[in-house]
Amino acid sequence: MVWWSTGLLLGAVAYLSRPALERAGVGPGYAFWAFFAFLMGVVGLLIVLFLLILVRPRHQRIARAMILARSGQVDAALADLQRQIETRGRSPRLSGALGDCYLLREEWREAYIQFLEAEQLDGRGGRFLAKQGFALWKLGRAPEAIALLERAALVDPRNPTHAWTACMILADLGRCEEAWEQLERAERLIEESIPAGTARRRTLEESLEVCRNRLLLTPDTPNDPGRFD
C-alpha cells in the first residue's frame, strides 16, 4: 500500500512537471515513463481498494459471530462460523474464531484442534500458539504448553498474550518466581505496545489481575521441574 501510494504520488508529480522538464532539455521518454509510473500507481491503488472491499465483509461476519458467542449464544456462533466455512472455505481467522468458541464452551480438545489448524493455515507463525498452549494446559499437558509458549515468545516476543498465558500455567504448577517474571513481562509489553483505553488492553489487564491474585494465593512450591525461558 505504501509503495503504491508513493508511486502514485511521484508519478503524478513527474508527469505534471513534464513541460518544465522538456524546457530543461529532458527527453520525451521521461514523460512516458512518468506517466506509466502514475498509471501503475492508480492500478495498484484500485487493486488495494478492491481487496479491502472483498476481505472486510468476511471479517465483519466473523466479528458478528464472536459477539454472539461472548453474549452466551455460543451454539448460534458456531453454526454461523460453520456456514461461513461451507460457503467460503477455511481461513486462519475462521478456525481461530471456532477455537475461541470452543474455549468458551470449555471444550479444550476441540479448541486445540482449531487453533492448530489456524496456525497451519496462517503461515506467518505465532499468532495462535498462545491459545494452543492454553488449551493444552487445560487438557493437562502443561509441559507441552510451556514448550509452545517458549516457541511463541521467540517468534513474537512483543506479544503480551504469550507472557500472560505462561504466567497462568506457571502459577498452576507452583513455579511462582517464574510466573511473577512472566507477569511483569506481560505488564511491560502491554504498556509498550497497546494503547490505553482500548478493549484489548482492558481485557489483558483484567486477565493479569486474575493471574496476580492467583499468585498471591499460591505457595512457592514447584510441582514441575525445569524452567521457563
Residues in the chain, total: 229
Q: Are 119 and 89 in contact (CB under 8 A)?
A: no
What pLDDT digit, counting tens, does each position of 142-162 carry?
A: 999 999 999 998 988 888 989
Does the structure show a pLDDT above 50 at 51?
A: no
Largest CA distance in the chain: 83
C-alpha cell at 43: 492500478
Q: Show the 3-state SS of 57-103.
A: HHHHHHHHHHHHHHCCCHHHHHHHHHHHHHHHCCCHHHHHHHHHHHH
Q: How far is CA 95 from CA 54, 110, 135, 191, 208, in A?
A: 19, 11, 14, 29, 26
Most confident of 83-97, 99-113, 151-165: 99-113
Task: Give the orientation angle of helix 160-172 with respect to helix 142-155, to 10 degrees.
Answer: 160
Whose cell is 478456525? That residue is 95
The better pLDDT of the pair 168, 28 is held by 168
Q: Would residue 224 be called left, alpha or beta, if left means φ above 0 and alpha means ψ between -120 and 50 degrees?
A: beta
Q: What is the pLDDT of residue 229?
A: 58
Look up residue 223 and give its DSSP letter: S
Q: How far is CA 185 from CA 34, 57, 122, 157, in A?
A: 50, 36, 26, 10
What pLDDT digit, counting tens, does each position of 114-144 carry?
A: 999 999 998 776 789 999 999 999 999 999 9
